[in-house]
Structure 1
Amino acid sequence: MSSVVKVVQPTGILDGTKAGDFRQEVAELVQSNADIILINFQDVTFMDSSGLGALVLALKTIRAAGSKMYICSVNEQIKMLFELTSMDRVFEIFSTREDFESEVLSTR
């Protein structure tokens, strides 16, 4: 059985000004019946509490639809934010997209 994987790839700064667009994009992917949504932080340079809040809401939306959410390629600032808020225990985070693909997709 093949899973439908959709990728959200925010860029720049994920803060209050971009959080609404981010949540909208995630909601659209959930409605498109994605089984797995990967949030790729490769091009995100900074995230504040508004961005973190948008991620938590995205996770709730995705779980409510019966799908799974993963995160990959976070920089040191975002990694530190996750650790300080204990969100690193809530989100499943992979160092790279390749790590995500080898660990998650190869087991399906």
Structure 2
Amino acid sequence: MTVVDHRSFYIEQVRNVTVVCFTVPALVESTCEFVSDELFELVENIIANGPIQVVIDLWSVREIDDWGLAMLRAFHETIEDHGGMTILCRIPQTVATALSHSGLKTCFHLQETRGEAIWSF
């Protein structure tokens, strides 16, 4: 397992899956610029080097707004556009509620635990 740290998340390589674990407590307008810069740098690396199987662990995220939801959706769509798959896991209730209210819950692949998400591939 390889671990790489960024300011807003760390990455673990487990089997052939890239696991992105957010360390920031909020994906909101005020944090989205630096988070999205790091996240889309990661996307470019994943697409270039594969495999394009990603688990996003949201356990530390306690607040999310439309900006954060849009960032997650753009990440998800970019991965899928390149033949990959993204699974969200360990979703706090506040984030789950935001996903439901926005209508985006059905756009994402969701799993309860990190293990379930990794073994889904």
Could you say what the CA RMSD is over the residues aligned between the two structures, in angstroms? Answer: 1.7
Q: CA deviation at 1:23?
A: 2.7
Q: CA deviation at 1:56?
A: 1.0
TM-score between the two structures when normalised by the length of structure 1? 0.82
Q: CA deviation at 1:74?
A: 0.7
Cα deviation digits, residues 26-80 of structure 1 (max 9, x gap): 3322222123111111222222111111111111210111011100001011000
Matched letter for residue 47 of structure 1: I
Partner of 2:81: 64
Alignment of 1:22-101 (within 5 A): 22-101=39-118
Distance 1:27 1:49 in 2: 23
TM-score between the two structures when normalised by the length of structure 2? 0.74
Identity of aligned residues (%): 19
Flag the 1:55–1:90 CA change in 2: closer, same or farther, 3 A. same
Unaligned runs of 5+ in 2: 1-14
- Name the count of aligned residue pairs: 102
1:19 to 14, 29, 36: 36
Distance 1:49 1:24 in 2: 21
Partner of 1:7: 19
Distance 2:98 2:80 in 1: 22
Flag the 1:26–1:14 CA change in 2: closer, same or farther, 3 A. farther
Distance 1:61 1:21 in 2: 15
Larger RCO of the pair (alpha carbons < 8 Å, separation 6+): 1
Unaligned runs of 5+ in 1: none
